[in-house]
Amino acid sequence: MKNQEIAGTFARIADLMDILGEDVFRVNSYRKASRVIEELPEPIEDFAAAGTLQEIPGIGKSTAEKIRQYLSSGKVALHEELKAKVPPKLTDLLEISGLGPKTVAKLWKQGGITSVEELKEAIVKDPSRLTEIEGLGEKKVQQIAESLAFLQSAGGRIRLGEADRLASALIEAVGKCKGAKRVAAAGSLRRGKETIGDIDLLCHAPASAAEEIIECFAAAPDVQRVLAKGGTKGSVVLRGDVQADLRVVQKVEYGSALAYFTGSKAHNIRLRELAARKGLKLNEYGLFRGEERIAGADEEGIYRALGLAFIPPELREDRGEIEAAIEGRLPELLRGEDIRGDLHMHTTASDGTSTIEEMVEACRKRGYAYLVISEHSKSQVQANGLDEKRLEAHVAAIRKAAKRYDDIEVLAGIEVDVFKDGSLDFASDVLAGLDFVTASAHSALSLGLREATRRLIKAIEHPHVHSIGHPTGRMINTRPGMEIDIDEVAAAAASNNVALEINAHYYRLDLRDTHVRAAIQKGAKLVINTDAHCLADLEMMKYGVTTARRGWATAEDVINTYPPAKLRKWIAQKR
DNA sequence: GCCGTTTTCGGCCCGACTGTTTTCAGTCG
């Protein structure tokens, strides 16, 4: 699948054109094409083969031609031409906050700077070489020096669960500041993206209290360094080099500010275009007809005034949600409270840290109607995987424990290993004795697209498999996992009555959002599991739900929202 | 370069902040 390579090529074309001073709208069209291709769940080769490239929004005749060029030759002529005009490492300078294409062009043409290394050296040894450049002064050079230092220390985007934890502590701290009301996270954290660049918080307060709230925020426990501190906006660095921003707005602006700071940027742009077409103006202070504010206190009012159904934050990515809202065909997304059980968790029998009883009690406290205990199988030696004999004893222990509860169904399952060729770690007769079988790949995760897809489909076609666990095996920020053709996998899952897992741990979130959506479109069912190895892991369910929502999932799409009888019926289809 | 519920040509989101400037360009979110 060449999607990421092509998206990267278009992003580099946009950067190069930007520095060369080309028309910004042309530049933006390449940026948009890059983003759309990056998010495509299916191989772009499939679109090219079917002749449907131009049906992808943001891809026109010219871009489609360049995609075909790349697919046939591995290169795009325009990219090669642009590269020849610019020093090879110049575009790296755009990574530095505060440096945009115009300044980078001037650094190069007037200052002879062609790389980050040369810029660093100039700042230390010869700052006058920089301040002599038109439009640059001492302060700007100082700002660049600070950005460079931050760039080197910052760890990049953090995982959803990590950002959630930091934000919760910060929200609590700001909530205690005098005058602060409705403190909430906005930005990509509110949209539930799998990784978060910085934490955006918002609250409302009387104007007289705003400055004091910013002071109070800057003094919060996890704050390591204060970047900026004004009348309504503060910006800090938390421990772990994560940036956090707080904005204080007036109550009447809260909804428009929340919508604005939640984004995504692409979604906001579409909303503003829509407003403009209706003769209205949308900004962070409200929705206006002339001078009159016609909405702004809450988000619902803004969407309503624009003639749209309310769009949940998880959908705000400009992936067709605005069109769906106009036509009234937004899905009714599943909610956290729809989840009735967790079908994948471990105990001390393999590599978990809690007993069967402890897991059951924790699930009862969560109000679940059922759960499945599913240990690793024998090939997972490092995870203390069970062989046939230990499995038999463990199943007996689960059955015995199950008898003690009449308010929750305790089912015996397994997380059986899927080998490289798609065969399983246990024979059919062993699997036949279990209530629910999750099949997962744990090794050989660097298979190519075709082999990985065949591997999963073979497991899906096994008569005793109910679910595929963490289908790609990716670990966010650590390893990419297997590339799979989600359309083929989902079609096989749909016709074999196998649910594809959304592994809810924030290290995995696998299936990812775009895969979830593609799977639903192919008619596949999903299951959201925590894969808990300890009691606290059961809390991860919310991240799986968020990911499912980002994939436009309804409760009907997710089998562990079913009441017990309906779930039993679904499982029985296999037999 | 893309796109169409005013359009196949002429638009393309909006405001704050910063630093460099004497009225604005560049960057960011």
DSSP letter string, A302-350:
HHHHTT-----GGGTTTSSHHHHHHTT----B--GGG--EEEEE--TTT
C-beta contacts of A346-349 below 8 A and 24+ residues apart? A346/A373, A346/A374, A346/A375, A346/A376, A346/A415, A346/A531, A346/A532, A346/A533, A347/A373, A347/A375, A349/A375, A349/A384, A349/A386, A349/A390, A349/A394, A349/A397
Q: Is the CB of A145 under 7 A from strand B?
A: no
* The nucleotide closest to A186 (CA, C1' atoms): B29
- The residue written with tokens 């036509």 in the block is A327
CA of A330 to C1' of B11 (A): 29
Q: How far apart, in whole angstroms, are the C-alpha atoms of residue A64 and residue A48?
A: 8
Question: Nearest nucleotide, C1' to the C-alpha of A260?
Answer: B29
Q: Please give the nucleotide, over all strands, whose C1' is closest to the CA of residue A27.
A: B1
For chain B, which bases have at least one atom within 7 A of a protein Cβ? 1-3, 6-7, 11-21, 25-29
* Cα separation, A237 vs A245, whole angstroms: 9
Nearest-CA residue to the C1' of B20? A135
Q: Which nucleotide is nearest to A56 if distance is taken from CA to C1'?
A: B2
Nucleotide nearest to A327 (CA to C1'): B5
Beta carbons within 8 Å of A84's beta carbon, 6+ residues apart: none
DSSP A86-104: S-TTGGGGGGSTT--HHHH
Nearest protein residue, CA measured to C1' of B1: A26
| A62 CB neighbours strand B below 7 A | yes
How much is the CA Rg of chain A, to the nearest whole Å?
26
Ordered domains of chain A (ranges, CATH): 3-153 (1.10.150.110), 158-249 (3.30.460.10), 254-326 (3.30.210.10), 336-572 (3.20.20.140)
Asked if residue A306 lies in contact with residue A271, where contact means CB atoms within 8 angstroms, the answer is yes
**Distance, CA of A158 to C1' of B22, in Å:** 44
Q: CA A499, CA A570: separation in Å to the nearest integer?
A: 10
Residues 213-242 of chain A in contact with strand B via CB under 7 angstroms: 228, 230-233
Helices within A315-448 (DSSP H only): 321-326, 356-365, 388-402, 428-432
Instruction: For chain A, report the end-to-end CA distance as a whole number of angstroms.
Output: 36
* DSSP 8-state code for residue A419: -
Q: What is the pLDDT along chain A (575 residues), one digit of tens a residue?
A: 888 899 999 999 999 999 998 888 899 899 999 988 988 888 899 999 999 999 998 999 999 999 999 999 999 999 999 999 999 999 999 988 788 899 999 999 888 999 998 998 888 888 888 888 888 888 888 888 888 887 776 667 889 999 999 999 999 999 999 999 999 999 999 999 999 988 999 999 998 888 889 989 988 988 888 877 778 888 888 887 788 999 999 999 999 999 999 999 999 999 998 998 888 999 999 999 888 999 999 999 999 999 999 999 999 999 999 999 988 899 999 999 999 999 999 999 998 989 999 999 999 999 999 999 999 998 988 788 899 999 999 999 999 999 999 999 999 999 999 999 999 999 999 999 999 999 999 988 888 889 999 999 999 999 999 999 999 999 887 778 888 999 999 999 999 999 999 999 999 999 999 999 999 999 999 999 999 999 999 999 999 999 999 999 999 999 999 999 999 999 998 76
Q: Are A392 and A432 in contact (CB under 8 A)?
A: no
- Which nucleotide does the CA of A268 lie closest to, via C1'? B13
Return d(Cα A109, Cα A150) in angstroms, integer: 26
- Name the β-bridge partners of A467: A438, A499
Is residue A529 left, alpha or beta, with left meaning phi > 0 and alpha meaning psi from -120 to 50? beta
User: Is A132 near strand B, with its CB below 7 A from some atom of it?
Assistant: no
Amino acid type, A166:
L
User: Cβ of A98 < 7 Å from strand B?
Assistant: yes
